Amino acid sequence: MNNVYLSDTSDIAGTYSFPSGHSSQSFTIATLLTLRYPDKPLLIAGLYTYAAVVSLGRMYWGVHYPSDVFAGMLIAAGSAALIYSLRKPIINAKNDLFNQSERTDSYNPGIAPASFFITLAAADILNHFLKKSDNNFLNNSSVQFDVSNNFGMLNYKVGF
């Protein structure tokens, strides 16, 4: 390859290694967004074009071998596809861990995003302190965030 710039990485702290991190990151983003939005061909083409340019740039500047870039691409695409396929079990495990009820995908646009996340965080914090309480009444109760109407509500549930 006559037009490749060879970089001397001996003067750089923490030399580049196998696999290429830049290639991995760009292909992870491209793969995840492709899986999330399969009906957007312009987005997919743009993401993979960007990822290819980043990967070729790593080889052009001489900081990675083609094997480094190829391994980064494979690891990124594989791990992104794995995480995407496990997203529902991960969310269910998170809901079980934080004692949250299962939510539907019907997000109500009437709720401001900031207040939605603040109220959701407040419910999680309250549940944390309720479960750590020495009081049996408080320990058997929980707070749930409900978005079934035009505004978010915190529901207090007591179990005996």
Q: Are 142 and 152 in contact (CB under 8 A)?
A: no
- CA nearest 147: which of 108, 115, 121? 108
Q: Report the alpha-carbon distance of residue 77 to residue 32 in Å, rounded.
A: 8
- pLDDT mean by block of 10 residues, the chain; 160 residues: 57 64 88 91 92 88 84 91 89 82 53 61 75 73 65 64
pLDDT of residue 63: 80
- pLDDT of amino acid 125: 79
The pLDDT assigned to 95 comes to 84
The DSSP secondary-structure symbol of 110 reads T
Helix runs in the chain, H state only: 21-36, 41-60, 66-85, 87-97, 113-131, 136-139
* pLDDT tens string 123-156: 777 777 777 777 776 677 777 766 555 555 666 6
Whole-number pLDDT of residue 107: 46
Please work out, in degrees rounded to the nearest 5, the angle formed at the alpha carbon of residue 73 by the alpha carbons of 68 and 74.
100
Long-range (24+ apart) CB contacts under 8 A made by 44-49 are none
pLDDT value, residue 160: 58
Confidence at residue 13, expressed as pLDDT on a 0 to 100 scale: 45
